[in-house]
Amino acid sequence: MIREQLGNKLFFFDGGMGTLLQERGLAPGELPETWNLLHPEEIRGIHRAYIEAGSDIVLTNTFGANALKFHADGYSLEETVKRAVQLVKEAASEAGAGTGEEKESTGKRRIYTALDIGPTGKLLKPMGDLDFEDAYEAFKEVMVWGEEAGADLIHIETMSDTYELKAAVLAAKENTSLPVFATAIYDERRKLLTGADVPSVIALLEGLRVDALGINCGMGPEQMMPVLEEYVKYSSLPIIVKPNAGLPKQKDGKTFYDVSPEEFAGYMEQIVSMGACLIGGCCGTTPEHIRAAVQRCRNMKISRPAEKDYTIVSSYGQGVMLGDGSKIIGERINPTGKKKFKQALKEHDLDYILREGIAQQDNGAHILDVNVGLPDIDEPAMMKETVQELQSVVNIPLQIDTVDSEAMEQALRIYNGKAMVNSVSGKQESMDKVFPLIRHYGGVVIGLTLDENGIPDDAEGRVQIACRIIEEAAKYGIRKKDIVIDALAMTISSEPDGAKVTLETLRRLRDEVGVKTVLGVSNISFGLPSRPVINAAFYTMAMMNGLSAGIINPLSEDMMKAWYAYHALMGLDANCERYIGHYSSMQTSASGTAPAAEHRGMISLKESIEKGLKEDAAAITAELSEVQDPLDIINTELIPALNCVGDGFEKGTVFLPQLLMSAEAAKSAFAILKDRMDKSGEVQEKIGTVVLATVKGDIHDIGKNIVKVLLENYSFDVIDLGKDVPAEQIADIVVKKKIRLAGLSALMTTTVVSMEDTIRMLREKAPWCKVMVGGAVLNQDYADMIGADFYGKDAMQSVRYAQELFENGK
């Protein structure tokens, strides 16, 4: 069927639908899909005109037909979708063409009915409020109806968000047997609206195994060409191009497009010669445009795009290609050997984990390894949540690191992009478990060179296992480019030849097998003193022998020095720009202008906090804590400083940025003192625990975050439940932990309603708990009306209320 012909035969899609419907009287804001039932003859007429113009593939009038977007009372969505499919088939019959339903060969031209799937019009979490699985369900039902009604393929288009695109493709692949086409909408920067670049979109779609992919809408054919060039460079799949008839222009309040059919055809000829295999039109194009394009391009020869050999992992924002220099995979999101990290996992302190991610990216990591495995925690749930949260604050790809296949699957499913996966081994059992997941969700998987017999102690043995992993993967259709082999670094303290074997393995994998490689570099020095000395030297040697990506600690200065130097030395850093950019600024800070060195000895800790000098406060605290008791420092320096700033804020002499700079400075001082006290076993008594949440439906949490920082400064423990938090979740934790004070924030009148619901539930389930509220639309009257105990006009007032409550209660 059409699958086999893709890339061998030039296919023509139809053109615009919306613009033609508007000409026939569709009002702005009216749902075009209702016309399938209201004015079927108009829809059928448009389909027929396209078929007569030469379109082979006709899109159903279902672009906005999904439960999230289609709110038309009195119209059944199912009926609307199914009727849409029939209308294409009826139009084909009317035009004397075949629809694939004929019992025998009729010699008629075959028309393919493509179920058109557009975006939901909602933004997915965490940027918006639509859950990934809800988006999936909305797409799924429409696709199932479409297949039932006889659609020949599913055409997902105009997607501006890779996450939504993934939900749609998964829904199609998991619930229908139809071919899946997917096209996205780019802007003039060659990016999606949510920031993704071309390689990342292609990596995602190829990983999910769509049948064809491409570009539609947003631009005219001329502007699309640079995007197409990138598609041709990266795609191994047939490419679809459906431009608008130029850029939209406005006249008399109407939008119009002004590329004529002849001009359009000329551009499309060029587009086909560049490598497009399926062409058509989007907004503003008409049957005349398609007719002209068909006439111009009909006899052009096309060829299936060549198989590309790039190893690309992607996040929502960018693709990272392995093989161009050596990439850095940050290893710090991993509890192994890290007490604080383990504690953060146990206490569900996601912010701690997220900060580890941010710090590593800021230090130069290209990919982040994510391992949250710990006995006694629900790893699949934790992994899923961590991946979701991380991808909302770092835009580099993640490496899902787990031996729990349930955790691996859940993370792969909700990951926004094509993930790196750590790992599979040469053990049959491991390959049987991991490869089906990679086949289903896409991904670049790390293959460990060990098998049932353990780790071979020579390079030959490791290379053989690598080849076996590659062979086994091929059975699943997973290509060599999507496998990265871990040559395994064994500590030289117990294996004298460990480094040599690993380096030889790397070299042979590069030269003989032609596969990308990875290493957990620092294993090499296990058991030795001054490990960074060995690690950095070995890292350089490994890169020299072809290491495509090193799993390292990007916060280690030694490792980063090795990385920068290697790339500068090997001509992998044009004009040493990166090296100079990094180290020239380092020099100035080393020569004495660094803020921490600037004021030391000149100002007191109290002053540094009052002035909000974070680095100074940390440096001074470190020095001071050598000679003074931490609790003493808190009582004589920190608390008076905070009080002074807090008073100033209340009097109107200190303003919010300064208040928070002081808070951040105090926080950095507290962190150092806490380390000291942890070591000496001393504890600072906390005043009490406060639960904070931005209520259900509300996604503006900056006010709540300000309150959190201040409360923590004033020795409160804060349980931060985040934003868009359901009332039950807040009530549950308040009950479970017998919390005495809950702080709720809401920004708009529409969400104060959920604040009121939350208060009602708290009154019922936790009558002992006081509730303080804050947010832009609130005032005292409003707060009284919804039954809050306290209205905090600003963050300091919330702190004062909390202090009063807990201190009086003592």
Partner 1 sequence: MEKRMKEAIRYLGYGRNTADERTRIMIENTFTEMDKVSGPKYICRVFAVKQMEDEIIKIGNMEITSRSLSRNLKGCTKAVLFGATLGPGVDQLIRRTSLTDMSRAVIQQACAAAMLEEYCDEKQQEIGRKLEEEGLYLRPRFSPGYGDFDIHYQEPIMRMLDCAKNIGLTMTDSYMMTPTKSVTAVIGASPVKERCPIAGCEACSKTDCEYRR
How many whole angstroms separate alpha carbon 244 and alpha carbon 241?
10
What does the per-residue mask of binding to partner 1 show for 29-68, with x meaning CB under 8 A? xx--------------------------------------
Told to check if 751 binds partner 1 by CB under 8 A, we report yes
Site for partner 1 in 339-378 (CB under 8 A): 351, 354-355, 358
Site for partner 1 in 143-162 (CB under 8 A): 158, 160-161
Q: Are 51 and 111 in contact (CB under 8 A)?
A: yes
Shortest distance in whole angstroms from residue 755 CB to partner 1: 11
How many whole angstroms separate alpha carbon 150 and alpha carbon 98?
13
Which of 463, 706, 725, 788 binds partner 1 (CB under 8 A)? It is 706
Q: Is the peptide bond before 423 cis (omega within 30 degrees of 0)?
A: yes
Q: Which residue has tokens 């979708």?
A: 81
Nearer to partner 1, 203 or 663 (CB): 663
* Tokens of residue 755, six digits: 């604040």
SS3 for 551? strand
Which of 105, 250, 530, 584 binds partner 1 (CB under 8 A)? It is 250
Q: Would you mind telling me the total number of residues written for the chain in this entry?
A: 810
Told to check if 85 binds partner 1 by CB under 8 A, we report no
How many whole angstroms separate alpha carbon 471 and alpha carbon 146?
38
Shortest distance in whole angstroms from residue 476 CB to partner 1: 35
Told to check if 660 binds partner 1 by CB under 8 A, we report yes
Q: Residue 324: count other Cβ atoms within 10 Å of its Cβ.
A: 11
Site for partner 1 in 376-405 (CB under 8 A): 392-395
How many whole angstroms separate alpha carbon 683 and alpha carbon 140?
54
Question: Which residues, 6 or more positions from 782, have their beta carbon under 8 angstroms from its beta carbon?
Answer: 752, 791
Buried b (16+ CB within 10 A) or exposed e, 90-127: bbbbebebbbeeeeeeeeeebbbbbbbbbbbebbbbbe
Nearer to partner 1, 99 or 751 (CB): 751
489: left (phi over 0), alpha (psi -120 to 50) or beta: beta
Q: Between the CA atoms of 374, 379, 384 and 389, what dihedral angle is there, to the nearest 10 degrees?
A: -30
Nearer to partner 1, 796 or 805 (CB): 796
Told to check if 586 binds partner 1 by CB under 8 A, we report no
Shortest distance in whole angstroms from residue 18 CB to partner 1: 9
Q: Are 448 and 487 in contact (CB under 8 A)?
A: no
Told to check if 599 binds partner 1 by CB under 8 A, we report no
Told to check if 128 binds partner 1 by CB under 8 A, we report yes
Shortest distance in whole angstroms from residue 13 CB to partner 1: 18
Nearer to partner 1, 250 or 530 (CB): 250
Told to check if 705 binds partner 1 by CB under 8 A, we report yes
Q: Are 161 and 109 in contact (CB under 8 A)?
A: no
Which of 702, 728, 737, 809 binds partner 1 (CB under 8 A)? It is 702
Told to check if 25 binds partner 1 by CB under 8 A, we report no
Of the listed pieces 167-175, 458-466, 701-709, 757-765, which binds partner 1 according to CB under 8 A?
Answer: 701-709
Read out DSSP for 732-750?
HHHHHTT-SEEEEE--SHH
Shortest distance in whole angstroms from residue 354 CB to partner 1: 5
Told to check if 534 binds partner 1 by CB under 8 A, we report no
Nearer to partner 1, 552 or 660 (CB): 660
How many amino acids of this chain bind partner 1 (CB under 8 A)? Answer: 63
Q: Are 287 and 264 in contact (CB under 8 A)?
A: no
Told to check if 16 binds partner 1 by CB under 8 A, we report no
Site for partner 1 in 773-802 (CB under 8 A): 794
Site for partner 1 in 609-628 (CB under 8 A): 612, 614
Nearer to partner 1, 45 or 128 (CB): 128
User: Quick one: 395 exposed, middle or buried, by C-beta within 10 A (0-12, 13-18, 19+)?
Assistant: middle
CA atoms within 13 A on the CB side of 800: 13
Of the listed pieces 193-201, 399-407, 462-470, 540-548, which binds partner 1 according to CB under 8 A?
Answer: 193-201
Shortest distance in whole angstroms from residue 711 CB to partner 1: 12
157 phi/psi in degrees, rounded to 5: -145, 170
Site for partner 1 in 269-328 (CB under 8 A): none
Shortest distance in whole angstroms from residue 351 CB to partner 1: 6
* Tokens of residue 533, six digits: 């000395």
Helix 379-393, helix 350-362: angle, nearest 10? 50
Told to check if 699 binds partner 1 by CB under 8 A, we report yes
What are the angstrom distances between the C-alpha of 119 and each of 3, 52, 66, 135, 144?
Answer: 24, 29, 9, 9, 17
Of the listed pieces 87-95, 172-180, 183-191, 238-246, which binds partner 1 according to CB under 8 A?
Answer: 183-191
Shortest distance in whole angstroms from residue 575 CB to partner 1: 22
Nearer to partner 1, 114 or 663 (CB): 663
Told to check if 522 binds partner 1 by CB under 8 A, we report no
Told to check if 256 binds partner 1 by CB under 8 A, we report no
Read out DSSP for 623-653?
HHHHHS-HHHHIIIIIHHHHHHHHHHHHHTS
Nearer to partner 1, 117 or 185 (CB): 185
Read out DSSP for 260-308?
-HHHHHHHHHHHHHHT-SEE---TT--HHHHHHHHHHHTT----PPPPP
Shortest distance in whole angstroms from residue 689 CB to partner 1: 20
Told to check if 553 binds partner 1 by CB under 8 A, we report no
Question: Which residues, 6 or more positions from 549, have their beta carbon under 8 angstroms from its beta carbon?
Answer: 322, 326, 327, 328, 329, 366, 367, 484, 516, 517, 518
Angle (nearest 5°) at CA 219 between 213 and 223: 95
Told to check if 750 binds partner 1 by CB under 8 A, we report yes
Told to check if 604 binds partner 1 by CB under 8 A, we report no
Of the listed pieces 46-54, 104-112, 694-702, 729-737, which binds partner 1 according to CB under 8 A?
Answer: 694-702
User: Under the rule (CB under 8 A), what is the footprint of partner 1?
Assistant: 27-30, 118-119, 121-123, 126-129, 158, 160-161, 185, 187, 189, 191, 193-195, 217, 250, 252-253, 255, 351, 354-355, 358, 392-395, 612, 614, 652, 655-658, 660-661, 663-664, 697-702, 705-706, 709, 747-751, 754, 794
